Amino acid sequence: MSTLGYALLGLLAREPLTGYQLTGLMRAPMGYFWTASHSQVYPELARLQERALVAGEVVPGPGPRDNKRYRITETGRHALRDWVVTPAPEPTARDEFLLRVYSLWLADPDAAAAMIEGRIEAHLATRADYRRSEKAILARHGGEPASDHPDFGAWATLRRGLSYERHALAWCRWLLDRLRAQARR
Amino acid sequence: MSTLGYALLGLLAREPLTGYQLTGLMRAPMGYFWTASHSQVYPELARLQERALVAGEVVPGPGPRDNKRYRITETGRHALRDWVVTPAPEPTARDEFLLRVYSLWLADPDAAAAMIEGRIEAHLATRADYRRSEKAILARHGGEPASDHPDFGAWATLRRGLSYERHALAWCRWLLDRLRAQARR
DNA sequence: ATCACCATGTAAGCTGTTACATGATTAA
DNA sequence: TTAATCATGTAACAGCTTACATGGTGAT
């Protein structure tokens, strides 16, 4: 089973959804840690149905095409529950920003500072996004979700996102300080 | 130009290297934020040479094959210097661990705790690695490298790695606390 | 009218991983 | 003698991105 399959099962374990809705959720909030486009989602749903991990029912929609609403099966729920406590492989590190920082020593200091400031703006925007999302969850749920509540994962990963952004922002600012300290000499 | 090309140029901007040596550096320290296997490195070096961004000289080695030592050209150094201050695209988020956490609410709490503890061990090992590497740089360099010194990038990215591990560890422990708080009820 | 959104699929292409292929030197 | 390290390549495959394809509904 592919990782994407478990991502989709993770969403369907909460509620039945169509491919289109799943695609939206793979942008956010699941996209905060695992992304997929619709061209990946539809074929993967077909594979999941083949293996009886999900069941699809055709709902005649208002549009030209029929809507297919998928729900997780007992088999699917079991597969997900088993996979979840499986040790996760180390994520392959791929950060183009850090790749640039590695060679920043040969760049023009002002251009370098501008690049980092752009990065800071992006982090601030992401943090604002996470803050809104967490607020929405706490409001909708009426407090912090317990660890066996379906909302727990979304909340816990948002907390992590916020912690990550705090760290990333602090480091970017430290880096800017280093560049400016050099410029003053 | 591919991202991998700039990664290799970033290493060659510091000193001439063979494909084999580059492959090792793509595991660490560059592998801390961008990885590549030898099967990617050799063809990419050929492409870089084609575009005259690097120059290769054949050094008869002790082994069965000739060693090819590459050095960056002036054209290559310019391309790298320009690219470095270019805005980096947002990295595609791909973290299987967070994907598991998202669905942790339906898992057995003890199995979940064990999985997270495994993750904590991995973070501790990585942090120890980073600490050793930073110590080595500071010792070899005799203090903190200035921002226009070739060692600056390696040092700055290690500082980031250490900050990241601190954040990740703190969040893993917070998550464990949540699970245990639930178990006590 | 034009745009955004709903809605589902296929195909081509690029990137990256794993496996195939070969073989010398040196240390345990 | 067995394994690790040095050393360089090609090929098959998997995963993901971008583009192609179609078309209705509702808001501006």
A185 confidence band (pLDDT: 50, 70, 90): confident
User: Collapsing DSSP states into helix, strand and coil, what is residue A67?
Assistant: strand
Q: What is the number of helices (H) and of strands (E) in chain A? A: 7, 3
What are A1-46's pLDDT values in tens digits?
999 999 999 999 999 999 999 999 999 999 999 999 999 999 999 9
B56 sits in which H/E element = strand B54-59
- Which among B84, B74, B75, B80 has a CA at the least distance from the CA of B9? B80
- In angstroms, the CA A159 to CA A153 distance is 10
Residues 6+ apart with CB under 8 A from B136: none
**Average predicted confidence (pLDDT) for chain B:** 96
Beta-carbon contacts of residue B13 (< 8 Å; ≥ 6 apart)? A103, A106, B72, B76, B77, B80, B150
DSSP state for residue B33 in the 8-state scheme = T
Per-residue pLDDT band for B16 (boundaries 50, 70, 90) equals very high
Burial per residue of B104-133, b for 16 or more beta-carbon CB atoms within 10 angstroms, e otherwise = bbbbeeeebbebbeebeebbeebbebbeeb
Query: What are the φ and ψ backbone dihedral angles of A55, each rounded to 5 degrees?
Result: -125, 135
List, for residues A104-161, the tens digit of each pLDDT value.
Answer: 999 999 999 999 999 999 999 999 999 999 999 999 999 999 999 999 999 999 999 9
pLDDT at B157 over 90: yes
State the residue for tokens 């999302």.
Answer: A133
Residue A63, pLDDT above cutoff 70: no
What is the value of pTM for the model shown?
0.96
What single DSSP character describes residue B149?
A: S
**Residues of chain A contacting B3 with CB distance shorter than 8 Å:** 96, 99
Judge whether residue B95 contacts strand D, using its CB and a 7 Å cut-off: no
The answer to whether B8 CB is within 7 Å of strand D is no
Confidence of residue B182 (pLDDT cuts 50, 70, 90): confident
pLDDT of B14 > 70? The answer is yes
- Model confidence at B185: pLDDT above 80: no
| Mean pLDDT computed over A72-98 | 97
Residues 6+ apart with CB under 8 A from A112: A104, A179, B84, B85
Helices (H), B28-151: 38-50, 74-84, 96-102, 109-141
User: What percentage of residues in chain A have a pLDDT greater than 90?
Assistant: 92
Residue A64 confidence (pLDDT): 65
Of B92, B102, B157, the CB nearest to A10: B102
Answer whether B96 sits within 8 Å of A3, measured CB to CB.
yes
Find which of A27, A103, A152, A180 to mutate to test the B interface (most B CBs within 10 Å of its CB): A103
**Three-class SS of residue A178?**
helix
pLDDT at A61 over 80: no
Do the beta carbons of residue A80 and residue A6 sit within 8 Å? yes
Size of interface A-B (CB pairs under 8 A): 232
pLDDT of residue B66: 81
Backbone angles phi, psi at A57, to 5 degrees: -125, 135
| Chain B residues inside the 8 Å CB shell of A154 | 102
pLDDT at B63 over 70: no
Average pLDDT over residues B2-24: 98
**Percent of chain A beyond pLDDT 70?**
98
Separation CA A72–CA B54 (nearest Å): 53
> What mean pLDDT do residues B26-41 have?
98
CA distance B152 to B159: 11
pLDDT > 80? residue B65: no
**Model pLDDT, residue B138:** 98
Would you state the pLDDT for residue A65?
74
Nucleotide with C1' nearest the A67 CA: C7
CB atoms within 10 A of CB A177: 11
Write down the mean pLDDT value for chain A: 96
Higher pLDDT, A64 or A69: A69
What pLDDT is recorded for position B184?
A: 79
- Size (chain B), residues: 185
Burial level of A16, CB count in 10 A (0-12/13-18/19+)? Answer: middle
B149 falls in which pLDDT band (50, 70, 90)? very high
Q: According to the model, what pLDDT value does residue A183 have?
A: 81
Place of tokens 């909708």: A140
Burial-class residue B62 by CB neighbours within 10 Å (0-12, 13-18, 19+). exposed
Task: Give pLDDT tens digits for B87-141.
Answer: 999 999 999 999 999 999 999 999 999 999 999 999 999 999 999 999 999 999 9
Q: Is the CB of B38 under 7 A from strand D?
A: yes
